[in-house]
A and B are shown apart, each in its own frame.
Chain A
Amino acid sequence: MTKPLVRPRRKDPLKKTRVPLLPQGTRSRTALGLTAAAAEGRFQLQVCSECGTVVYPPRDACPRCLSARLPFQDVANGGTLLAETTIHTSTDVYFRERMPWRIGTVALDAGPSIVAHLHGDVREGERVRLQLKLDKSGQAIAIALPADDTPNMADDPQWRELTCDPKYRRVLITDGRTAVGQALAQAMSEAGAGIVFVGVADPWKPFAGEDRLRQIERVEIVALDLTDTISVNECAGEFAPRVDILVNNAEYVRTGGLLERKGLTVAREELEMRYFGLTRLAQAFGPVLRARGADGVNSAAAFVNLLSVYALVNWPAYGAFSATEAACLSAAQSLRAELRPGGVKVLNAFFGPLETEWYQAVPPPKVAPAALARAVVGALQQGLEDVFVGDIAQDIRARLAVNPKALERELGS
């Protein structure tokens, strides 16, 4: 039985902040297939296209038929824990300060044996579920979970090293004026966040939903205008050391491609809010997040970007908007690499058209703000790096994997 986490006490400001250390992140190129699967929360192993053998550790030739065609595919994740050990002595500084550490050999029903991290509730000889997760180094590892969920299982210390669970963490949502921002505040509060800071530009101006937002437990409204460097810096100056999860939910949605726009005014505003807003947040909050990646139960855990799925491929009906989102996606990839030394994840939540006024003329299916908020919380609880929310986003993801050029033509016609 997992011992439930205790709400962390206020930190002694004189206490040294534990320096983030990472487990070894070096992998062979082939093994990065596991990382790609883990980033989206899939359990994929190499499966030989010729003889069907499930292969692990990752290889470049099938050990049964020597075929080189070994794509990563979804595989059933059930298995049995054959043997376990509790490591008390490690040569690695990351694990040394986390001892004792349990690992075990899992005989996967699908074939191979996998040496995996063990959730505290799994027992030798019993059935387990294997999952691929990203560890603090950002690379994939396997962890064995009990066959059925157990009480407080998300609080297990080895599991929590792999996730960005909002429980007892302090969250900053950058824009409380939007429906998505308000839904996020609700979802984070329900997920047990310690404090939910909600940014509002010019808080003296009333806005729809304000009363309900203020009533959500542990919500605290803070002044934050992403288009204003001074505002972002002031907010960070006051709150950055207490922000463990930052959610950038800034929206700037306008229809049209390049030709309909007269001049650069709208494009500039779009970039000001989205690309430069993201840059301001990264510069103001990033260094503190990165320094606090191992700071106890409420360590810094994630920088979340809400991105239109059209960041991945342009939708000319919202062509200029798509281009700005693409700029944000590219910046997020850079940010991911820059925050990795702190063990802080960058979660990109890709969504299709939302059930909001800016997508008024777009036919369904559309994503409700509450559904998007739930998906973000779920992705943090699972420690994902990329999540595709709603039917449209998942459809785009699937089509992009098959034929990007076809998708470009289809979206443009």
Chain B
Amino acid sequence: MNARRQPYDGIVVAAPVTVPYRRYSTNTAHWWVGRAVREVIQRAGLRSADIDGLSLSSFTVGPDTAIGLTQHLGLSPRWLDHVPLGGASGVVALRRAARAVQCGDAEFVVCVAGDTNQVDSFRRMLSTFSRFAQDAVYPYGSGGPNASFALITRNYMKHYGATREDFGRICVAQRDNALKFPHALMKRRLTLDEYLSARSISDPIHLFDCVMPCAGAEAFLVCREDAAKSQGIPAARLLATIERHNAFPEDPIQYRGGWVMDVAELYAMAGVAADDVDFVQTYDDYPVICMMQIEDLGFCAKGEGPDFIRSHTLTADGSFPHNTSGGQLSVGQAGAAGGFLGLVEAVRQVTGSALGTQVPDATVGLVSGFGMITYDRGLASGAALLAGGHP
């Protein structure tokens, strides 16, 4: 049996920051990270010297890692982390930072994710993303993640009867959310017809199933609740988290993620049920993954995702508020910052400070992360429950 995990005790997330994205940037990842860190510090009313913990996620900061960024940014933290987990970076960075703060290894941890996007950087990243990608994926048509997720999507559709319309409903609702979110790159309304008639990228993946790679940064501050109070900044309480890697390696093709292994503990630790959740931020690299998360995080049974989507409205003011800022599908995917997007948005929602549509009475929010397809499936999964107000 697993040893019983310690609950989080008065750990909060504050100062949610988005550095507005750009399709292409001539700046470096360091520039984007620097801007995000500065804004967190300013929002929290702190000075650089107060930051004693730093967690960095970035694909394009190389050859530097987090340590190089301490000197670059003039920080002297006593706790340092580098989380190269793509779409799971936000949840994982938060988990580690929370324990560091809880145990007193650090008082103020800035978690930051930022990437630049230069004209050729996406192509160059694909061929060298992982050893398995180099040996066993990229030589097969070089379709990138679009082709890999097309196979997963195709298999899911065949097994569970999901249709392109179902995925379209997810994408269209997110676009509606994005229209009111100031930082979204996609600013044109998307209709289901437009979604369905878009050009094929890698069947059954079509244009609007794909995120747009861009440059940007996201960041947040992790500290104790009383510290946030004394700084006078709104903060979201951390209720519970889970994390899992390389779950179900025997599945011949991915139809579920690691959440399935740990979701019961997520709710038990938080003392809430799926019904209590007021909004959900899933990791939306492809809409099929959103559908899997809705199933695997307990909102419906496996295979019932398509029915669930059909019987709910997914906009921020709908019956199942989902990816309320528009998600990566509409805001853009700024590299590792894509793994922070939902978390930063969730902090805003539970603290009543949404930049776009505010989910009414948003008290408990669920954020999910998913990342790193090194061969044929996403390996990293995680989730966190956040709450606003006071216990």
Q: B139 near A137 (CB under 8 angstroms)? A: yes
| Interface positions of A from 65 to 111, Cβ below 8 Å from B | 82-92, 94-95, 101-105, 107
Q: Are A101 and B135 in contact (CB under 8 A)?
A: no
By the criterion CB–CB under 8 Å, are B132 and A57 in contact?
yes
A139 interface hit (Cβ, 8 Å): yes
Report the nearest B residue to A25, measured CB to CB. Answer: B139
B140 within 8 A of A: yes
A200 within 8 A of B: no
CB-based contact A91/B142 at 8 Å: yes
Nearest-Cβ distance from residue B360 to partner chain A, whole angstroms: 40
A318 within 8 Å of B by Cβ?
A: no
- Is A155 at the interface (CB under 8 A from chain B)? no
Given contact pairs A83-B152, A85-B205, A103 touches B143 in the complex (Cβ within 8 A): yes
A265 adjacent to chain B (CB < 8 Å): no
Chain B, range 68-96, C-beta contacts under 8 Å to A:
none
Residues of B within 8 A of A26 (CB): 127, 134
Contact A115 B131 (CB under 8 A): no
Nearest chain A residue, comparing its CB with the CB of B136:
A57
Q: Residue of A at shortest CB range from B251?
A: A113
The answer to whether A85 and B143 touch (CB under 8 A), given A57-B375, A63-B249, A113-B252, is: yes
Q: A85-B154, A85-B202, A89-B201 are in contact. Are A57 and B143 (CB under 8 A)?
A: no
**A330 at the binding interface (Cβ < 8 Å):** no
Q: Which residues of A contact B126 (CB under 8 A)?
A: 91
Given contacts A28-B134, A91-B144, A105-B253, contact A23 B139 (CB under 8 A): yes
B203 CB–A CB distance under 8 Å? yes
- Chain B residue with minimal CB distance to A107? B252
Instruction: Verify B151–A115 contact, CB threshold 8 A.
Output: yes
- The answer to whether the Cβ of B106 comes within 8 Å of any Cβ in the partner chain is no
Is B141 positioned at the interface, with any CB of A under 8 Å from its CB?
yes
Report the bound CA distance from A103 to B202 in whole Å.
10
Residues of B within 8 A of A300 (CB): none
With contacts A58-B135, A82-B252 taken as known, whether A90 is within 8 angstroms of B155 at the C-beta atoms is: no
Q: Are A115 and B140 in contact (CB under 8 A)?
A: yes
> Contacts A87-B147, A88-B202, A104-B151; is A95 near B141 (CB within 8 Å)?
yes
Whether A103 contacts B141 by the Cβ 8 Å rule is yes
**A86, B203: Cβ atoms under 8 Å?**
yes
Q: Does A195 sit at the interface, judged by CB under 8 A?
A: no
Q: A250: CB under 8 A from chain B?
A: no
Interfacial chain B residues near A27, Cβ < 8 Å? 134-135
Q: B376 within 8 Å of A by Cβ?
A: yes
Q: Is B158 positioned at the interface, with any CB of A under 8 Å from its CB?
A: yes
A369 to B374, CA, bound (A): 49
Question: In the complex, what's the smallest C-beta–C-beta distance from A250 to chain B, in angstroms?
Answer: 36
**B215: CB under 8 A from chain A?**
no
Among the listed A28, A85, A124, which residue makes an inter-chain contact with B147, where contact means beta carbons less than 8 Å apart?
A85
- Whether B310 sits at the interface, judged by CB under 8 Å, is no
B144 cross-chain contacts in A, Cβ below 8 A: 90-91
Q: Which residue of A lies closest to B200 (CB)?
A: A88
B185 to chain A, nearest CB (A): 19
Is A297's beta carbon under 8 Å from chain B?
no
* Complex-state Cα separation, A63 to B375, whole angstroms: 14
B139 touches A141 (CB 8 A): yes
In Å, the complex CA distance between A205 and B156 comes to 71
- Residues of chain B within 8 A of A270, CB atoms compared: none
Q: Is B150 an interface residue (CB 8 A)?
A: yes
Known: A63-B249, A107-B253, A116-B140. Is A88-B199 also a contact (CB below 8 A)? Answer: yes
The reply on B189 being an interface residue by CB < 8 A is no
Contact B202 A87 (CB under 8 A): yes
Contacts of B249 in A (CB 8 A): 63
Which residues in window 343-358 of A have CB below 8 A to B?
Answer: none
Tell me if A242 is interfacial: C-beta within 8 Å of chain B.
no
> Residue A28 contacts which of B131, B200, B204, B376 (CB distance < 8 angstroms)?
B131
Contacts of A58 in B (CB 8 A): 135-136
Specify which chain A residues have a CB less than 8 angstroms from the CB of B59 in the assembled complex: none
What residues of chain B lie closer than 8 Å to A139, measured between beta carbons? 139
Q: Is the CB of A89 within 8 A of B151?
A: no
Task: Tell me whether A165 is interfacial, beta carbon within 8 Å.
Answer: no
* A24 near B142: Cβ-Cβ < 8 Å: yes
User: Do the beta carbons of B253 and A141 come within 8 Å of each other?
Assistant: no
With a cutoff of 8 Å between Cβ atoms, the chain A residues found around residue B155 in the complex are 82-83, 105
Q: Flag whether A56 is at the interface (Cβ < 8 A).
A: yes
Residue of chain B at shortest CB distance from A92: B142
Q: Are A101 and B141 in contact, with the CB atoms below 8 A?
A: yes
User: Is there an interface contact between B140 and A105, defined as CB atoms closer than 8 Å?
Assistant: no
B202 touching A89 by the CB < 8 A rule? yes
B147: shortest Cβ distance to chain A, in Å?
A: 5
A57 touching B253 by the CB < 8 A rule?
A: no
Would you call B122 and A91 a contact (CB within 8 A)? yes
Interface string of B110-153 (1 = CB under 8 A from A): 00000000000011001100011011111111111011101110
Residue from the set B135, B203, B249 with the largest chain A CB neighbour count within 10 Å: B135
Check A290 for interface membership: any CB of B closer than 8 A.
Answer: no
A84 touches B151 (CB 8 A): yes
B132 cross-chain contacts in A, Cβ below 8 A: 57
**Cα A267 to Cα B179 with chains together (Å):** 82
Task: Chain A residues near B138: list those with CB within 8 A.
Answer: 24, 92
Whether A117 sits at the interface, judged by CB under 8 Å, is yes
Query: Of A25, A31, A56, A87, which one neighbours B141 at CB under 8 angstroms?
Result: A87
Q: What residues on A are CB-neighbors of B136 within 8 Å? A: 31, 56-58, 114-115
User: A90 near B140 (CB under 8 angstroms)?
Assistant: no
A107 to B148, CA, bound (A): 15
Q: Does A386 contact B (CB under 8 A)?
A: no
> Is B140 in contact with A141, judged by CB distance below 8 angstroms?
yes
A24 and B134 contacting across the interface, CB-CB below 8 Å? yes
Q: Is the CB of B140 within 8 A of A24?
A: no
A113 and B376 within 8 A (CB): yes
Chain A residues within 8 Å of B140, by CB? 103, 115-117, 141
**How far is the CB of A269 from the nearest CB of chain B, in Å?**
45
Chain B residues with Cβ below 8 Å from A244 are none
User: Whose C-beta in chain A lies nearest to the C-beta of B206?
Assistant: A88
Q: How far is the CB of A334 from chain B (nearest CB, A)?
A: 25
| A325 at interface, CB cutoff 8 A | no
Give the distance in Å from the alpha carbon of A105 to the alpha carbon of B147 in the complex: 11
Assess whether A87 is in contact with B143, with CB atoms less than 8 Å apart: yes
Chain B residues in 8 Å Cβ range of A114: 136
A-side contacts of B139, CB under 8 Å: 23-25, 135, 137, 139, 141
**Which residues of the partner chain B approach A87 to less than 8 Å between Cβ atoms?**
141, 143, 146-147, 150, 201-202
Closest-by-CB residue of A relative to B137 is: A115
Q: B119 to chain A: closest CB distance in Å?
A: 12
Please give, as numbers and ranges, the residues of chain B lying within 8 Å of A135 by CB-CB distance.
139
Cβ of A102 to closest chain B Cβ, rounded Å? 8
Give the CA-CA distance A94 to B132 in the complex, in Å: 20
Task: Return chain B residues, CB-CB under 8 Å to A63.
Answer: 249
Q: How far is the CA of A347 from the CA of B132 in the complex (A)?
A: 29
Give, as a whole number of angstroms, the nearest-CB distance from A47 to chain B.
Answer: 17
The chain B residue sitting closest to A113, CB to CB, is B252
Give which listed residue, A86, A92, A115, contacts B200 with CB less than 8 A.
Answer: A86
Contact residues in B for A92 (Cβ distance below 8 Å): 123, 127, 138, 141-142
The 5 sampled A-B contact pairs (Cβ below 8 Å) are: A26-B127, A57-B375, A85-B150, A85-B204, A88-B200
A-B complex: 7 closest residue pairs judged by Cβ atoms: A92-B142, A85-B150, A57-B136, A87-B143, A31-B135, A83-B155, A91-B123
